[in-house]
Each structure stands twice: as C-alpha cells, then as structure tokens.
Amino acid sequence: MKWLVVLSALVAFSECLHRIPLIKGKTARQALQEKGLWEKYRMMYPYKPMAKFDQSGIESMTNDADLSYYGVISIGTPPQSFSVIFDTGSSNLWVPSVYCSSQACQNHNKFNPQQSSTFKWGSESLSIQYGTGSMTGHLAVDTVEVGGISVANQVFGISQTEAPFMASMVADGILGLAFQSIASDNVVPVFDNMVSEGLVSQPMFSVYLSSQSEQGSEVVFGGVDSSHYTGQITWIPLTSATYWQISMDSVTINGQTVACSGGCQAIIDTGTSLIVGPTSDISNMNSWVGASTDQYGDATVNCQNIGNMPDVTFTLNGNAFTIPASAYVSQTSYGCNTGFGQGGSDQLWILGDVFIREYYAVFDSQAQQIGLATSA
C-alpha cells in the first residue's frame, strides 16, 4: 500500500512537468556550406558572441552559425505556430510578423495579428541585438502557449525588420528565459508570468540537450526530469540575477590552469552554441588541445586525434565539471572543430550548448541558483 502511495505521488508529480521537445536541426553553417555560401557569409557577418550581452544599444550585425536546437510554441486565438530558440541568455519573446519585409522573414512563419481574436497592440516599439543578429518591431499582447501552458496577455515582440543572416536560421524567433532586469522595454518574460500565475508547480525549468540524435532534447517547465541525469545535482548560486550568471574559478587541462586564472564570471546560455571566452584564454585552450585557429577564430583539429586529446575541466564555485574531447570537438563532413570560441570578455564567459550537452541544467528562479548534473 505504501508503495502505491509513492507511485501515485510520482505519477502526479510527473504530470506537473510541462515538456517542450527540442529538435536538433541543421545549423546555418551547414545550410550555407551546402550552398557554397559559408565563406562569403562569415566574412560579411563576423562572429561576435558577446553582442547580446552588450547593453549599450546598437551593435553591428553578427552571427551564431552553429545553433541547432529549437522547439515549437503557439501564439494567438486560434493558435499560430512558431519554432523558437529557447534562450537563457536573453529575456524577450519575439517572432516574425506579416508586417516584416526583410529577406529573413520571407522564409519563416509570420504572425498575423488580424487572425487572432485575443490580439492587442502594445504601446512601444522594440529593438533587440543578439549574437545572431538584430530585429526591430513592435510590442504586442496575446495568448502564448508553451508546452501545454497557456499564458494569457503575454507581451511579446513582432518583428518588422530582421538582419540578413537570420534568413539562414531554422528557427522563426527567440523565447528568452533570462531575468526581467535585462528585458528590452522591461517586458515581463514568459517564464516569470508562468510562475506568478501559478501555472508551474515549481519556479524552475530544466534543459536537456541530446548529443547526437535529432530527437530527445527538451526543456521541462516546472521542475526536473530525473531520467535526464545521473548522480546528484550540484547547486551553484547566481552572482547576478540578470543572465544566469555564476562564478567560475578556473579552466584546467591536465591539472594546469589554462584560462580564467584567478577566477571569472560565466553565463549558462542555451542560446550560444559554443564555449566562449576572451581571445587570449581561448587561444591558449585551443593550443593545449592541439588545434590550429584560422583568421575567423575557428579552431580545427585532425579528426584522427580526438581519442588522444585531453579533457578540459571547468571549476564552477568549487565544483569540477569536465568536458572530454568527444564532447568539445564537432565532427562534420567538412572536418573537425573545437567548441571553444573567441570573442568573450575578460569579465564574462559563455558556457553554451557544448557545455550543456554534457551537464543537464536546472534553472531555479526563486532560489536564484543553477543546478548541474551529468547528462544521462
């Protein structure tokens, strides 16, 4: 009888979790390589991963050509569907609109306000800069459905212009999961509304990124799925409730400190594909693992050497998290690249998808902490 009660409780708890499957799709780099346009594009749009973390306003257009995970949400009544990147490094939701004439809007789903009975115009215009480019548009209000959770009167952006590089991206828009303090126009983020309206059982969400297969990755709203990790969850307090920012003590290879000497800050960011740090530190890391870096900052290795390359350990708030070469090297028909990208600041590292694939990440907004556990 006791086991029956426990089982019932587990079933009830699992029903409180709201899941958004993430599809691992083709990256912009892959799509452009297949068309023979990658070299031209990377010259036109240099990679500036810190662009979305620069709060000073206008930045030149940049790109993250290796983002590959996206999920489907809907907006409006009746619902209109959009694929979005779930981005813990930004805080706004926006999608393309029928009022957008940019090339990037032409090959994506576009929101039509006139087809939604619950749509209302917001009062302000909107301009957002990302590592992938920029968008301008207008604020709007409508019902947003995410993983079976319906958020009424959610403020979001509908784009009127989008930067050219975004035409190469699979996702239509972006759903930001960072804090309201960094949201453009101080808009209340989707997840904050879920929490304040009692639509999730716990004020947390978690992210599982599958390494190889196209299926299996997901964002879970309202808690943790224990099938996605092994061992214990290590909890790390946030140093700033803006991005999901934590303390990093060092980066070591074979016991030697190779980067972040003396400590630094890091962001756990699902909306950045690589691990990004200051140019000098990243160059040193790539040198230690035997990579050669081209003029664009891409670090290539001999695919035959992956089995002999060293692990890289990131120590976060006193806890060691190790990434093997099989995880930090990406292998395609065009060769092998490390997942260590230049362009970070001395103050701020980005631990992107390369890191999150190895460590299931739990984002607890109330306790302002991040949980990390070895991915199953």
- Residues carrying an active site annotation: 87, 269
The answer to whether the peptide bond before residue 21 is cis (omega within 30 degrees of 0) is no
- CB of 264 within 8 A of CB of 245? no
Of the candidates 29, 58, 68, 38, the one whose C-alpha atom is nearest the C-alpha of residue 272 is 68
Please report which residue ranges of the chain form alpha helices under DSSP H.
2-15, 28-34, 38-44, 103-106, 190-196, 279-288, 325-328, 353-356
Residue closest to 41 by CA, chosen among 66, 72, 69: 66
User: Which of 193, 191, 230, 222 lies closest to 206 in space, CA to CA?
Assistant: 222
Task: List the one residue out of 82, 92, 91, 99 whose CA is nearest residue 162.
Answer: 99
Provide CB contacts within 8 A for 323, sequence distance 6+: 275, 311, 312, 313, 314, 354, 355, 358
DSSP designation for 97? B
d(CA 161, CA 129): 12
Strand partners, 337: 300, 330
Among candidate residues 148, 156, 154, 133, the one with its CA nearest the CA of residue 51: 133
* Kind and range of the H or E run holding 207: strand 204-208
Question: Coil, helix or strand for 72?
Answer: strand
